[in-house]
């Protein structure tokens, strides 16, 4: 009996720890190293993310960074959603794993807790929670980015709308898990907070547009 209680508490924590460690893999830095590029923390915005890697001029490296940063957010969330019940993981584990993977990117243990802003990883997390949620948020980013050419403004729009998309979508289709909704709200708040400098630049008209250094 005591062992069952221990395992019921240990498995969710282990799942969250694994998600955090996966999230802590900073692919902007790793991809740049493998492809012989400068460390993205040493130029541009100094943010280890796909947008800053693009400033190196290597579109392949930026695309690969974007993909891998999204996958590391998607994989642990998808795995818990797909296999969590079989492992006896509580329903709240999904929300905890989602936040852990995102937090790993923002505060990576392997890179002195100095990570990226979390846009791609958050998108991956949302796709892991619900593909339609990820798709709706991605379309929001694409529409805003297309018309304004500001990656940061598109990210902020996606961050604001993601919790609303989850709430409205699940109210109509099935149900709202308040823990997942809270995780989405927390991620959105952190994303907005991480974009403080971009918000200031947008207000001053100094923010760089997509495709320009």
Q: How far is CA 99 from CA 40, 53, 61, 203, in A?
A: 25, 24, 26, 30
In 155-171, which positions are buried (b, 16+ CB within 10 angstroms) versus exposed (e)? bbbbbebbbebbeeebe
Local mean pLDDT, 10-residue blocks, the chain (213 residues): 57 92 96 93 88 89 96 96 80 92 97 93 96 95 94 94 90 75 96 94 88 63
pLDDT digits (tens, 9 = 90+) for 139-182: 999 999 999 999 899 999 999 999 999 998 876 655 678 899 99
Environment class of residue 81 by beta-carbon count within 10 Å: exposed (0-12), middle (13-18) or buried (19+)? Answer: middle
Per-domain boundaries in the chain: 2-204
Which pLDDT does position 2 carry in this prediction?
55
């Amino acid at each position: 009996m005591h062992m069952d209680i221990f395992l019921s508490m240990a498995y969710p924590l282990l799942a969250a720890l694994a998600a955090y460690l996966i999230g802590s893999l900073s692919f902007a830095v790793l991809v740049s190293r493998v492809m012989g590029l400068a460390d993205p923390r040493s130029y541009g915005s100094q943010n280890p993310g796909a947008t800053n890697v693009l400033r190196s001029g290597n579109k392949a490296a930026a695309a690969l960074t974007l993909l891998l940063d999204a996958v590391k957010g998607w994989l642990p969330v998808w795995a818990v959603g797909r296999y969590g019940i079989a492992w006896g993981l509580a329903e709240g584990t999904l929300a905890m794993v989602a936040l852990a993977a995102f937090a790993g990117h923002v505060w990576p243990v392997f890179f002195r807790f100095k990570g990226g802003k979390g846009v791609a990883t958050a998108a991956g997390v949302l796709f892991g929670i619900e593909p339609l949620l990820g798709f709706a948020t991605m379309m929001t980013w694409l529409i805003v980015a297309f018309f304004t050419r500001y990656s940061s403004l598109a990210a902020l729009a996606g961050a604001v709308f993601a919790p609303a998309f989850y709430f409205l979508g699940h109210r109509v289709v099935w149900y709202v898990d308040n823990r997942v909704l809270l995780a989405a709200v927390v991620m959105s708040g952190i994303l907005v907070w991480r974009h403080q400098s971009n918000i200031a630049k947008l207000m001053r008209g100094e923010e760089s547009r997509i495709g320009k250094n």
